[in-house]
Chain A
Amino acid sequence: MITLTQVAKRYTSDVAIGPVDLTIPAGGLTALVGPNGAGKSTLLTMIGRLLGIDSGSIEIAGYDIAGTNSKDLAKIVSILRQENHFVTRLTVRQLVGFGRFPHSQGRLTPHDEEVVSRSIDFLGLRELEGRYLDELSGGQRQRAYVAMVLAQDTDYLLLDEPLNNLDMQHSVQMMQHLRRAATELGRTIVIVLHDINFAGHYADRICAVKNGTVRHFGSPDEIMRDDILTDIFDTPVEVVEGPRGRIAVYY
């Protein structure tokens, strides 16, 4: 369970996050949605302790992130931000291996190697494991980074817009992988998504963020409604019943 209590961060007098009170239950896939600049990524980065908070507290699985050793937290929660522009010349396998750092401090044990292999296979990167990252396409590289945080073997997985720069096919594949990680591996995944229809289809819960606060939180059925989506995105949205569930139409 991730619990945010009165979490706030102030940038300028009129740009601020929070105060946010939010409880994300353990298990399943939770999507953070909202317009640009709403504070979704900021919120996620704060939960992942990459960004400090000004007031309030954040607990993950009962551990207060401000008071817990970063080394120990690395075994509980992993976070992946949007893709790094600098591309290191590591092979996929070497990169994924660094996801084991919290467990082995760089000296991979046979067990680590096994976890790395499983993680690589899980994201369908087996053929590419010996390739250098700068030889991969954007989508493959993105998958390699996800494999890395998956190999970290944490119960909580935070991903900031993993569908960025991915085309339709790779976006769908990525969401399928994440869905499986939640369902089959029992991970708690929190993900920032831009496309409300991806959230509506794959997520178990949707958290709608606007102006730095949580505006709505609920199941896709509760959130995928004309009035709520129109309110969140400040643009007329019509929700229709599609062949595979509800679809938001906004164009």
Chain B
Amino acid sequence: MSLPPTGTPAVERPPRAAAGPSRTRVPKARLFTWPLLIGLAVTTGLVVLSLFVGVYDIFGAQDGAEMFTITRVPRTIALVLAGAAMAMSGLVMQQLTQNRFVEPTTTGTTEWAGLGLLLITVLVPGAPLLVKMCAAVVAAFAGTMIFFLFLRRVTLRSSIIVPVVGMMLGAVVGAVSSYIALSTNMLQSMGVWFLGSFTSVLRGQYEPLWAVAIIVVAVFVAADRFTVAGLGQDIATNVGLNYNRIVLLGTGLIAGATGIVTVVVGNLPFLGLIVPNIVSLFRGDDLRSNLPWVCLTGIATVTVCDIIGRVVVMPFEVPVALILAIFGSVVFISLLLRQRRHA
């Protein structure tokens, strides 16, 4: 050791700046920066484009304006809400599990929501949409808690194993759903429900989706808490937060968003995975300043995929879930490879 003993006067003095007046501050981070405004403009452009893409000639036909408000507007609002909610669910989930590969479709959350929806349809035929949604949300919450508790019990060596376990769990739950659907003659309608598609989003049917707007706002409010939770239970407790309460809150918000979106739209695979990861790559993991980006990117991604789905086989449509799955799996695999290179 090359230091004077502690008893003698310290030779090394702290840099003057440490004790002196504060140095010129880093400018306070503003919410609306130029890049964000450009992102906002691009996303708005896509949303407007979505309003005018489709087989029906809304300008030429007699009832064009009416069709516009019955189908195009609801469809576009649904894109915005579902895109933002699912991307944010993925982000919150990744923080809570400290794992970049989880999101509602890689942890079984959507399958649980589907099971809840199926069970309520079988048990209470003709249940109103609100009841169906509640069943899906409750099931999604229970399923996600099971997954989180499992993660806590079992220390998994590799972060890649976590989504594998989640997808296996989801497959089991999905198999149970299929069995129930098969024995109640609902297999076909189940297939249609779960395959995420905005085709059937019409005025009078999509309105419950507005509830996810509340969830989006709640995530914004609790953003800092989720970031702290992402630093781990010890650090969260150290700064005086109740970690378990944050996990419960987060799970509730994720389950709410996933349940509602599953009932109204269906599965949107990988959306919660690709969006937060792309944003994190460029902007890091500070939740509060990232949320607008995650929202916009989620909306833009799902809108682009939906527009592609509407255009490629015109006058027919490809469900958005298929496009997302193709796009998402490519991103997912490249993330896995990137992780391996870094490890």
Q: Determine if chain A interacts with chain B.
A: yes
Query: Considering only CB atoms, which chain A residue lies closest to B18 in the complex?
Result: A121
8 contacts between A and B (CB under 8 A): A50-B238, A79-B238, A101-B224, A113-B22, A117-B25, A121-B15, A172-B1, A245-B5
In the bound complex, residues from chain A placing their C-beta under 8 Å from that of B99 are 86
Contacts of B201 in A (CB 8 A): none
Quick check: B239 and A102 within 8 Å, CB to CB?
yes
Specify the chain A residue showing the minimal Cβ separation from B290.
A89
A72 at the interface (CB under 8 A from B): yes
Q: How far is the CA of A69 from the CA of B237 in the complex (A)?
A: 11
With A93-B26, A201-B1, A202-B6 in contact, is A106–B225 under 8 Å at CB? yes
Residue pair B232, A183 in contact (C-beta under 8 Å): no
B12 interface residue per 8 A CB criterion:
yes
Q: How far is the CA of A13 from the CA of B1 in the complex (A)?
A: 42
Q: Which chain A residues border B17 with CB–CB below 8 Å?
A: 121, 126
Measured CA separation A91–B29 after assembly (Å):
13
Task: Point out the residues of chain A lying under 8 angstroms from B159, CB to CB.
Answer: 86
- Bound together, the chains give a CA A69 to CA B241 distance in angstroms of 10
A172 to B1, CA, bound (A): 8
Interface residues of A (CB under 8 A from B): 48-50, 69-75, 78-81, 84, 86, 88-91, 93-95, 98-99, 101-102, 105-106, 110, 113-114, 117-118, 121-122, 124, 126, 129, 132, 148-149, 152, 172, 176, 179-180, 183-184, 197, 201-202, 204, 244-245
> Which applies to chain B's interface (DSSP): helix, strand, loop or mixed?
loop
Segment among B82-90, B175-183, B281-289, B326-334 that sits at the interface with chain A? B281-289
Cβ A78 vs Cβ B6 within 8 A: no
Most buried by A among B1, B14, B237: B1
The distance in angstroms between the C-alpha atoms of A80 and B28, with both chains bound, is 28
Is there an interface contact between B238 and A88, defined as CB atoms closer than 8 Å?
A: no
Which residue of B has the minimal Cβ distance to A81? B234
A73 in contact with B240 given A50-B234, A113-B25, A183-B10 (CB within 8 Å):
yes
> A70 is contacted by which of B3, B23, B228, B237 (Cβ under 8 Å)?
B237
CB distance from B214 to the nearest CB of A (A): 21
Q: Within the assembled complex, what's the spacing in Å between the Cα atoms of A194 and B14?
A: 27
Which residues of chain A come closer than 8 Å to B26, judged between CB atoms?
93, 113, 129
Contacts A106-B224, A172-B1, A245-B5 known; A74 to B238 CB distance under 8 Å?
yes
Question: Could you tell me if A101 and B230 are in contact, using CB atoms closer than 8 angstroms?
Answer: no
Residue with the greatest number of chain B CB neighbours at <10 A, chosen from A69, A81, A88, A201: A88
